[in-house]
A = this chain, B = another copy of it.
Amino acid sequence: MKTKQIVLASRPKGTPTAANFRIETITLSEIKNGEVLLQPNYFSVDPYMRGRMNDTKSYAEPFQIDKPINGGITATVLESKSDNFKSGDIVVGMLPWQEQSVVSEKGLQKIDSKIAPESYYLGILGMTGLTAYFGLMHICKPKKDETVVVSGAAGAVGVVVGQIAKIQGCRVIGIAGSDEKVVLLKNKFGFDEAINYKTTKDLKKDIAKVCPNGVDIYYDNVGGEISDAVIANINFNARIALCGQISLYNSTEIPVGPRIQPMLLTRSVLMQGFIVGNFSAHFPEGMKHLSEWVKDGKLKFTETIGNGFDNLPTALIGLFKGENTGKMIIKA
C-alpha cells in the first residue's frame, strides 16, 4: 500500500523554506503483531520543530535528512494487531508526517473526543497545555497579586500561561506582535494589559508603565530584545521560565545582547530552561487541573486550523512570521 510522506530534504540556514522539505511516495510495510495502521486526522505544528531541523545537540532528536518529519498527531486506527487498540479508536502520539502509517502501539494513547474536541489533545490537553502549566506552576510558582509577563503571549502556550496566572490571582501582561493579538489577549483571554512590541517606541518603558510594581515572573517564549526589555524591569527574587526563544531560532550567527548575569545576580533571580518532559512524573497532576479548568470554562483555547497534508511545511514556515494565533494545527 502506497502513502505520501514529508521528509527533511535539507537543513535550513536561517528561516526554513519550502525547499527544505520534500513530499514523496512510499510503500507501507505489513502490519506486524503489536502494530497498528493509522490515518492521521490532526497534525501539531510547533516552534520547537525548528530546532530539530538543525543537526545540533538539543532536547529533542534532530530530524534526519531524507527521513520523515515527526510530531504530535491524532489519528484513527484503521487496522490493529495490538491488544490495546481496536479499529476506530482515536489515538495521539509522536508520529511521522505521513498520510497513513504503520507504527508500534508503544507511545500511543487513546483519547476520548467526547470530553473535548480531538485537536485539543494536541494543544490545551496535550503538550502545549502541560508546557504552560509546569513552566508557570512548578518553576515560577506564582503567588497572588504578583505581576506575570508572558512573551509570545498570543501563541499556543502563551494564552494558556496567561489564563492560569489569572486563575492564581496574578496581574498578567502579554507581549505580542499585532494589534489584533493585543485585543484578543485582553478581551478573550482576560490579560490585564497587552503590548504590541512591533509598534511600541520603547518596550522597556512601556513594560514599566503597565508593571508599576515590577516583574515578578517572566514566562519567556521569545527571547532576544523583548527579553532584554522585560529583564530590565525584573524584581528581586523573580523567576524566569525559559520555554522558547523563537526570535532566535533562525539566527545563522550566535546572537549577541546585553549580558544578563549581573542583573540576575544583584536581584537574586532564578532562570530555568525546561522542556515539558522534565515533568513527566507530574503529568497526571497537570492533566487533572487543565481538564477541570477547561470543563469549568476558566481556560479558553484558540487554534489556527489549516487544511491539507501538503500544506504542513508552509504552516511550519508560517510560525516564524507570526501568522498563527494560538495553536497551529493542520487537518488532514
Interface of A is mostly: mixed
* Among B57, B58, B220, B263, contact of A261 (Cβ-Cβ < 8 Å): B220
Count chain A residues whose beta carbon lies closer than 8 angstroms to a beta carbon of B. Answer: 38
- B-contact 0/1 string along A248-275, CB 8 Å cutoff: 1000001111111111111111111111
Residue from A227, A244, A248, A273 whose CB has the most chain B CB atoms within 10 Å: A273
Answer yes or no: A224 CB below 8 A from chain B CBs. yes
Q: Answer whether A271 and B268 are a contact pair too, CB < 8 Å, given A59-B236, A259-B257.
A: no
A261 vs B255: C-alpha distance in the bound complex, in angstroms?
A: 10
Q: Is A256 within 8 A of B255, CB to CB? A: no
A237 vs B272: C-alpha distance in the bound complex, in angstroms?
A: 10
Chain B residues contacting A259 (CB-CB under 8 Å) are 223-224, 248, 254-257
Chain B residues contacting A237 (CB-CB under 8 Å) are 278
- B-contact 0/1 string along A197-229, CB 8 Å cutoff: 000000000000000000000001001100100
Q: Is A273 within 8 A of B265, CB to CB? A: yes
* Among B243, B268, B272, contact of A278 (Cβ-Cβ < 8 Å): B268
Answer yes or no: A9 CB below 8 A from chain B CBs. no
Question: Which chain B residue shows the least CB distance to A227?
Answer: B261
Chain B residues contacting A257 (CB-CB under 8 Å) are 256-257, 259
Answer yes or no: A168 CB below 8 A from chain B CBs. no
Number of copies: 2
A236 to chain B, nearest CB (A): 7
A256 vs B268: C-alpha distance in the bound complex, in angstroms?
A: 20
Q: Is B248 within 8 A of A262, CB to CB? A: yes
A261 vs B242: C-alpha distance in the bound complex, in angstroms?
A: 7
Q: Is A272 within 8 A of B273, CB to CB? A: no
A259 vs B261: C-alpha distance in the bound complex, in angstroms?
A: 11
Answer yes or no: A306 CB below 8 A from chain B CBs. no
Q: Is B265 within 8 A of A245, CB to CB? A: yes
Answer yes or no: A177 CB below 8 A from chain B CBs. no
A130 to chain B, nearest CB (A): 15
Q: Is B258 within 8 A of A260, CB to CB? A: no
Q: What are some 27 contacts across the A-B interface (CB < 8 A)? A: A51-B266, A58-B266, A59-B266, A223-B259, A227-B261, A237-B278, A242-B265, A243-B265, A245-B261, A245-B265, A248-B261, A248-B262, A254-B259, A256-B256, A256-B257, A256-B258, A256-B259, A257-B259, A261-B271, A264-B273, A265-B274, A268-B272, A268-B274, A270-B270, A270-B273, A271-B271, A271-B272
A residues near B (Cβ < 8 Å) are: 51, 57-59, 220, 223-224, 227, 236-237, 242-245, 248, 254-275, 278
With A242-B264, A256-B258, A260-B260 known, 7 other A-B pairs at CB within 8 A are A57-B266, A59-B267, A224-B259, A264-B272, A268-B273, A268-B275, A270-B272
